[in-house]
Structure 1
């Protein structure tokens, strides 16, 4: 189809006024010369301003440098014109996320004279991404992070050489509980233990369910002695309580181990797993430290 200048102008007007996306025309300094009506529908107010607003006036301070670089790249032709996401400053006091993509406008001499940008609300997409992230890295039963998230976090701590310890917990005789009371009661046991860990561990500790009846805890900046004291309290408290689970009330115990986060991921896991094996071999309902730090218990 061939459009005259008037046709193109009319078509632009129709698209600009009906779309939920915002179309912005800005000068070389980033000041907004024209904005489609969707700008106000998305919570921005520009009509009562004494001077033209700047594009960066729409952007939260922490993202202004990134948006400014993308805008400068678009004007110079150096950037690929990729979208940039940023939290916006809207007049309704709601935090909203937007994506902006910019292309340079050039005069008859081929020199940049401004830019056209499309501003798109991406709140819904970010919510969906967060839900997908939660589904990927969260255990649906206990709402703790799962094994995939645990491995990633432990690997990060190892790579950054962060001080701390890894604790492993395993509910004792869990298969017997499932067989005697049923799987729904077994699920309740897992939830009860997960909640106990949340209550008794420090706010900075990261708790994950990494297997059927197995839990892992990352204790940042904790020394082996501190980790031993923290985890010993969990084991002792659990054994002292007769938990109400479903229609039954019975004692739940767990075995545990502690290893320093050091060397590499495999070494850290191996040392913690070996200490957990020792705890179970010695009768369960106890905590064992990794071999290098193991203490004599009376």
Structure 2
């Protein structure tokens, strides 16, 4: 007879989990219960005694045995299977007389069992792990009640040892975890004394284990928080095991008296009549530092460590609701792109850091300073005298930022412009964004006025911004409607005045406002997305006119100004090459003019198309040379053929020694580099004579001809020269 049917898979899985908790899921421990089976054999005066455990599969495995050679027995033939199923002492006086066992192979063959008495080994939760049994090869009378009690006691001894081993295993694992965890583990009894202290607790609080075990847990609590601590612990002890796990943030006290932010997870358990509290304590210092770093990065500029635009807007918003009068200054560095373009971004960063330091020093502690953008800073000053203070600060900032910045052995001359806005405005409700928009308009006005100055916002600036927007809208249709036209101004040889070239100058014949000079629309055009298409039209028209003049026997070099957007346009080479091919104009009769301030804001990628154009014979002139921040390295890197001296230095060259010296220096520089030089803005014979004396060989200006429509220029230049009277 077979006592059990195959167990459901869930039951087997549950059995395996229990066996694993007692470390019985592997090979049965040898010798662990040897003393128990020997005691059983002696007590019952039998030759064989066993402690066997279910392996969770199909066998019972003998962990300890006396008088038995086998190691494992199939569950379907094991007597202990029946004892486990019974749940209490099972006695078989003579197996041959018991219909359950008379045909069992362990009865009919080795070990020829006749007598069996066994009892299950049961966990505190009622799980039956195995059995302890005594066996004899001869029949024996049934056990007395006393003997049954002894057998049960032996089973409890085995279970107690298993339970102790389980607890020891858990304790060792817990100790290993406690030693390895970065969190402090601290246990205390119901008297508030520390009973356990791991290595992480020593690291966090500075106390050793020997110092803390037995001391009050309140040692770790700052004095002002101890009443609250006592109240919390008293409540947990009163609730006992019913107290729900809880996590709180608190301040801990280190051995050296310093404080540490901590997170405490509390758990409570009962040990007999005593209640214990376990605390897992996490040091939050790094978390708080990380939070502070994130907060700082959210509100401060990484490079200069100044408040960023978002925080500045918050400050302005706060001032609008709490301050009667304040001013916002928006500070922009003039020609900052020149530094990045010539010395690199690392040098530019050093200049920005130095500029931030100068702004801080200028405004002092009474104002808020922020970095608003790439090369712009914001300043907020409050008080009844905000207007006067802002004006004084603006002058100071222009002066301080106008001083050269030493970078890598070189001196960078930049300058600064400042826009000022006063707030609140009683005539209109302002938000922080609107305040900064007004400051930006004032800054732009200062820059358009030449820079190195400050401007205070006036309502007219908003009107000018609207005007710019209107012009930009009108420009979009001007090209399609054919409203643009080119005027040309002659360039002549010195001395003598013979025609050598001309410069193409853009004009806009507005349908309502008439002919507009560049000053009325060029600042808008060159920064709009119309710059490239209009620039391409200029190239085609100028080349066509120069080809026409060449065909009429008047070859002249045509100067064509390029917008910065054209230099960034990857199609620049093709546009010029196609224009030359379409018109038949020789390359040397085409000269592209670029300003040094334009190229200073561009990267090296613009040089390659210019070099390719030089291969076609096209010239490249540096316009307005000397007015920007160009280094000699720029003259070497760009494939230049000509320098144009700006009218600013020509106007007073006969009366201003500095202007004369600059003109002479540029002429000498051009000669030494193999570059032609032309002077602009010549209006008097005296200026022309002085330039001849300095060695300048070409000139352009009203003295030789004003800009005129191409048709007028062609008619004038095509006419034969007047005959001299005899």
When Rg is computed on C-alpha atoms for both structures, the one with the higher figure is 2
State whether structure 2 residue 286 is matched by structure 1 residue 89: no
State whether structure 2 residue 329 is matched by structure 1 residue 167: yes
Greater relative contact order, per chain length (Cα 8 Å cut-off, separation 6+):
1
| Other-structure match for 2:353 | 191
Distance 1:142 1:131 in 2: 15
Give 1:62-81 correspondences, 5 Å limit: 64=225, 68=229, 71=232, 75=236, 81=246
- State the 1:153 CA deviation: 4.7
Q: 1:228 aligns with which of 370, 373, 391?
A: 391
Q: 1:270 aligns with which of 427, 437, 442?
A: 437
- State the 1:120 CA deviation: 1.7
SS of the residue 1:202 aligns to:
helix
| Other-structure match for 2:447 | 280
SS of the residue 2:450 aligns to:
coil
Distance 1:260 1:132 in 2: 33
* Deviation digits for residues 43-78 of structure 1 (CA, Å, limit 9, x no counterpart): 3438558984344x424568x49x859957x94899
SS of the residue 1:103 aligns to:
strand
Distance 2:214 2:197 in 1: 17
> Residues 124, 171 of structure 1: CA spacing in aligned structure 2 closer, same or farther, 3 A cutoff?
same
- State the 1:235 CA deviation: 1.8
Distance 2:439 2:277 in 1: 58
**Maintained 8 Å contact 2:193/2:213:** no
Structure 1 residues without counterparts, runs of 5 or longer: none
SS of the residue 1:42 aligns to:
helix
Normalising by structure 1, report the TM-score. Answer: 0.71
| Other-structure match for 1:201 | 363
- State the 1:119 CA deviation: 0.8
**Larger deviation, residues 128-137 vs 273-282:** 128-137
- State the 1:18 CA deviation: 4.2
State whether structure 2 residue 347 is matched by structure 1 residue 147: no
Structure 2 residues without counterparts, runs of 5 or longer: 1-19, 23-162, 425-429, 462-726
SS of the residue 1:284 aligns to:
coil
Distance 2:316 2:196 in 1: 48
Distance 1:159 1:82 in 2: 42
Distance 1:17 1:181 in 2: 55
* Deviation digits for residues 68-95 of structure 1 (CA, Å, limit 9, x no counterpart): 59957x9489998344153x32123555
SS of the residue 2:322 aligns to:
coil
| Other-structure match for 1:102 | 266
**Maintained 8 Å contact 2:194/2:217:** no
**Maintained 8 Å contact 1:24/1:36:** yes
SS of the residue 1:24 aligns to:
strand
* Deviation digits for residues 191-225 of structure 1 (CA, Å, limit 9, x no counterpart): 22112123223235443322121112344668523
> Residues 106, 283 of structure 1: CA spacing in aligned structure 2 closer, same or farther, 3 A cutoff?
farther
| Other-structure match for 1:37 | 198
**Maintained 8 Å contact 2:398/2:415:** yes
> Residues 16, 175 of structure 1: CA spacing in aligned structure 2 closer, same or farther, 3 A cutoff?
closer
**Maintained 8 Å contact 2:339/2:412:** no
- State the 1:171 CA deviation: 0.6
Normalising by structure 2, report the TM-score. Answer: 0.33
Aligned length: 284
State whether structure 2 residue 431 is matched by structure 1 residue 252: no
| Other-structure match for 2:527 | none
* Deviation digits for residues 141-195 of structure 1 (CA, Å, limit 9, x no counterpart): 334343344445545x358735754321101122344445554443333222112
